[in-house]
Amino acid sequence: MDDPIITTQAAARLLGVSVRTAQTWIEQNAIESWKTPGGHRRVRRSVVLELMSRVSAAPRMSALVFVHAAQDRLEHYCDVLAELPECCVLADSDIFSTLLSIGNTLPGLILTELARTDWDRFAMLRRVTREPGLGHTQIVALSELSASQIAQELGSDTRVSRLPVNCGAEDLRAAVRAVLADEAAQQPDNDEDAPAFRTAPNEMERIKAVTRSGLLDTAHEEAFDRIVRLAGHTLHTPIALITLLAHNRQWFKARWGIEGLETPRLWAFCNHTILQKGVFVVEDATEDPRFRDNPYVVGEPHVRFYAGVPITDYQGFPLGSLCVIDRVPRDIDEDSRQALTTLGELASDKINLRIRDRQLKWAEAASRSRDEPNDGQK
């Protein structure tokens, strides 16, 4: 009873993916399983939890690619893309399960076959191109239709790359690699534009996670404002912040005791916070060579003490931090560290509830679209 046997459906719920995706992972031996005498797959709950811990702990160096095609073609596409180390591949043949999984996983690229009468697939792609939370998602369509015909059906979206449906494995890998490389090229890579602060190896994926959170440049909310007020009162500091670290700026989702909505990212103490687990502390910024020339140290608000913890999304990406700031040097005891950690976890939970709520609305809309007649079908 400490390690129950569960069904594929229960495993899918735990993992936050569709049943078909869980079945694919089982078939690919990513999840150890066996068959009952009746032919049903069963897994141990501990195996699923172990997979979840490995996925959340591992740095996301690769892009998530979702493949949607007929069942007899899925294995072929997965085998082709398996040779690309920059890809982590999920696959599904059912259109409804695909929509649910796309809404849950927010992939970087969708690969799908597309025929003239694939009304459901066209409808799916239209939803993808119109969903703000999927603004980062690229599309590769394997089709005998021309690029202009596909664009006419989907609208003037530039994220769709077209390949002939019978293209070879090398051509397909090259096309997917090119799309991912074009996306990576949007990040600064020369010495002049390189950030003057240290970033994690998976910084590009982390930036995408910040975008997917849907929190940047949103209105302040009392749920988050309460957390920073409580952090300031609990740790007896005049300033407390919930920050999000975008590519070149630090934006404040919630602030207490300070004016302004953002700073250049170069000024952010939180750059260091998101690179480690636990509490990052600076007892006296004027004595620390990393910060003593920082404009926030030499000028207003004259930061001396800083303590911050990462806030993370449900995939483990650090989006920013919950931090407290004082204008005088000081240290921090273990009780205060634990209190800040707990409040950081609360902020992460609030963010993930927002993300899950958006995913639920996506699933409900997908369910409605499945039940309604397709207006493109004659």
Tell me if the domain spanning 1-54 has CATH number 3.40.190.10: no
What does the pLDDT look like over 173-204, one tens digit per residue?
998 888 877 655 554 443 344 456 778 767 87
Fold of 203-358: Beta-Lactamase (3.30.450)
For residues 200 and 378, the model is more confident at 200
Is the pLDDT reported for residue 341 higher than 80? yes
Q: What is the mean pLDDT of residues 90-117?
A: 84
- The β-bridge relationship of strands 87-92 and 63-68 is parallel
Q: What is the mean pLDDT of residues 332-341?
A: 95
Whole-number pLDDT of residue 29: 65
At residue 344's C-alpha, the angle toward residues 340 and 348, to 5°, is 170
Give 312's strand partners: 318
- The mean pLDDT of the chain is 83
Give the residue ranges of DSSP H helices in 58-142.
71-81, 95-105, 119-130
Q: How many CB atoms lie within 10 A of CB 337?
A: 16
343 φ/ψ angles, rounded to the nearest 5 degrees: -65, -35
Do the Cβ atoms of 196 and 266 come closer than 8 Å?
A: yes
Closest of 8, 15, 18, 10 to residue 42, by C-alpha: 8
- For residue 234, what are its two tokens? 């609990």
- For residue 199, what are its two tokens? 């970033």
What is the domain partition of the chain in residue ranges?
Answer: 1-54, 59-186, 203-358
Domains 59-186 and 203-358 share a fold: no
Give 282's strand partners: 306
The beta-strand segments (E) located in the chain are 5-7, 34-35, 41-44, 63-68, 87-92, 109-113, 138-142, 160-163, 239-245, 249-256, 262-264, 280-282, 305-312, 318-326
Q: What is the mean pLDDT of residues 4-17?
A: 76
Distance CA 236, CA 229 (A): 10
pTM: 0.58
Pick the CATH number of 59-186 from 3.30.365.10, 3.40.190.10, 3.40.50.2300, 3.40.50.720: 3.40.50.2300
- One-letter amino acid for residue 298 of the chain: V
